């Protein structure tokens, strides 16, 4: 089973600042990594797939990068609606599909 | 627009059984594999089970194998999860998820809460 480790657990950022979230895989997942945003009481929403491809309707301030075992989600200028939980998912080797434990982006 | 609407969540005693449903619309249901993903209160996301578009193959997480059964009715556009021998650690919101043709999880339902407690 591929283990995904996200860091940091909590990221405190001021509105308008850049946020950088990390996801590390226990073995190579190639480009087969996705990012999701989840707000309280809501379902996760797909942001990025293929490590760097934005999903339909996702603003350009969200960008993904990386391959193999090291991945980054960058939010270039945080808006109020971006404060949420973020999860990474690997879909290189399944089953099982595995998620990271999440990073909470909170207002500084 | 893809819509996934889960139902069936309830309070059930340990050792009990429960069935969840997910009504799908807005896409050709029979063309897509589907999964169930759960989230325990205050915890992260855990993949539970998966079924191919024609029900030919099913997969289960180790934590539920032998207790949960996934199935689908393509003519009715419904995904199911039958859960038996429920444990306290099965308490979670259960999400119905459409898997994309490129194998990541695309659209999600709003979830249904299963609580296992005496």
pLDDT in tens, B61-97: 999 999 999 999 999 999 999 999 999 999 999 999 9
Bridge partner residues of B112 (DSSP): B94
List of chain A residues whose C-beta atoms are within 8 Å of the C-beta of residue B50: 94-95, 97
pLDDT of residue B5: 98
Q: For residue B74, count CB atoms less than 10 angstroms from its CB and return exposed for 0-12, middle for 13-18, buried for 19 or more.
A: middle
Q: Do A101 and B109 touch (CB under 8 A)?
A: no
Q: How far is B89 from chain A (nearest CA, A)?
A: 17
Q: Do B35 and A99 touch (CB under 8 A)?
A: no
pLDDT of residue A61: 97
A65 φ, ψ (degrees, to nearest 5): -150, 170
User: Distance between the two ends of chain A, CA-based, in angstroms?
Assistant: 35
Which DSSP state fits A14? -
The pLDDT of B8-26, averaged and rounded, is 98
pLDDT of residue B3: 98
- A94 to chain B, any CB pair closer than 8 A? The answer is yes
Q: In terms of CA atoms, which chain B residue is nearest residue A56?
A: B106
- B108 to chain A, any CB pair closer than 8 A? The answer is yes
Categorise residue A50: left if φ over 0, alpha if ψ from -120 to 50, beta otherwise.
left
pLDDT of residue A90: 98
| Among A42, A91, A96, beta carbon nearest to B104 | A91
Contacts of A6 (CB under 8 A, 6+ apart): A21, A22, A23, A24, A86, A87, A88, A100, A101, A102, A103
List of chain B residues whose C-beta atoms are within 8 Å of the C-beta of residue A32: 103-104
Q: How far is B47 from chain A (nearest CA, A)?
A: 6
Q: How far is B34 from chain A (nearest CA, A)?
A: 12
Q: Do B102 and A50 touch (CB under 8 A)?
A: yes
Bridge partner residues of B44 (DSSP): none
Q: Tell which residue, B35, B27, B92, B26, has the closest CA to residue B58.
A: B35
pLDDT of residue A106: 96
Q: What percent of chain B has pLDDT over 70?
A: 100
What does each of the 108 residues of chain A score in pLDDT, given as a tens digit? 999 999 999 999 999 999 999 999 999 999 999 999 999 999 999 999 999 999 999 999 999 999 999 999 999 999 999 999 999 999 999 999 999 999 999 998
Q: Tell which residue, A84, A88, A89, has the closest CA to residue A107.
A: A84
pLDDT of residue B32: 98
């Amino acid at each position: 089973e591929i283990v995904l480790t996200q860091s940091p657990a909590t990221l405190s950022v001021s509105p308008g600042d850049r946020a950088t979230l990390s996801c590390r895989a226990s073995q190579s997942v190639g480009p087969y990594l996705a990012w999701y945003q989840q707000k309280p009481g809501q379902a996760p929403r797909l942001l990025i797939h293929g490590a760097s491809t934005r999903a339909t309707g996702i603003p350009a301030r969200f960008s993904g990068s990386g391959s193999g075992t090291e991945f980054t989600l960058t939010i270039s200028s945080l808006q109020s609606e971006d404060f949420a939980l973020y999860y990474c998912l690997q879909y290189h080797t399944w089953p099982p599909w595995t998620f990271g434990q999440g990073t909470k982006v909170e207002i500084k | 627009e893809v819509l996934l609407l889960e139902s069936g969540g309830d309070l059930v005693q340990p050792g009990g059984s429960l069935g969840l449903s997910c009504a799908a619309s807005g896409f050709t249901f029979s063309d897509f594999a589907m999964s169930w993903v759960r989230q325990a209160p205050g915890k992260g996301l855990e993949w539970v089970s998966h079924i191919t578009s024609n029900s030919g193959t099913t997969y289960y997480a180790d934590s539920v194998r032998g207790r949960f059964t996934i199935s689908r009715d393509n003519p009715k556009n419904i995904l199911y999860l039958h859960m038996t021998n429920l444990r306290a650690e099965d308490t979670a919101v259960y999400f119905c998820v459409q898997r994309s043709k490129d194998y990541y999880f695309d659209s999600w339902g709003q979830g249904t809460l299963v609580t296992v407690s005496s």
